[in-house]
Amino acid sequence: MFAFHSPAARLFGTVLIAAAGLACSSAPMRDIASDAATDAGARFGHKSTPFAGAKANQGFVTHVLEDGKSVLVLSDDFVVPETPAPHWQLVDSRGNAYLLNRLKIKGDRFNKTVVIPPFVHDVARVQIWCAFAETVLGEASFEKAVR
């Protein structure tokens, strides 16, 4: 009957149909409470599994929303691997890998946070990637892909 192209339009259309009492079993219904819980979880953080790998095997990563941007933050107990070029690498739910910032900065400092770029649709796993050896040093995954 109607073509809803955006999530907001689908939600608005579903609410209108339900309010009019015209909802049927084939109508696309959304769980509004679940969407609100997902949004609240993003504000307060989605925690990953602990890192597991040959060199990066301590700590975890948390997904949060800061100033409207999706940000990944490493835990305080994360130890930067002693390798030549560790980097952030994100893997989406489709298996696409995105190589991002270098983890180490000058001296003892490192990039503890990274903003998820807009071209990354979701994040299923976070990897610490050695660009020199071209290998995964450690990996942490989310229970459900985060956006």
* DSSP tag of 51: P
Q: What residue spans of the chain are helical by DSSP H?
A: 7-20, 32-44
Whole-model pTM? 0.66
Q: What is the pLDDT of residue 70?
A: 93
CA distance 86 to 36: 36
Domain boundaries, the chain: 43-146
Q: What is the pLDDT of residue 8?
A: 52
pLDDT in tens, 65-109: 999 999 999 999 988 888 888 999 999 999 999 999 898 888 888
Q: What is the pLDDT of residue 81?
A: 85
CA distance 142 to 106: 30
Q: What is the pLDDT of residue 137?
A: 87
In the predicted model, what is the mean pLDDT of residues 37-57? 71
97-102 sheet: strands from edge to edge: 97-102, 86-91, 123-130, 135-146
Pairing of strands 69-74, 86-91: unpaired
- Give me the torsion for CA of 93, 41, 99, 133, rounded to 10°: -90
CA distance 75 to 130: 19
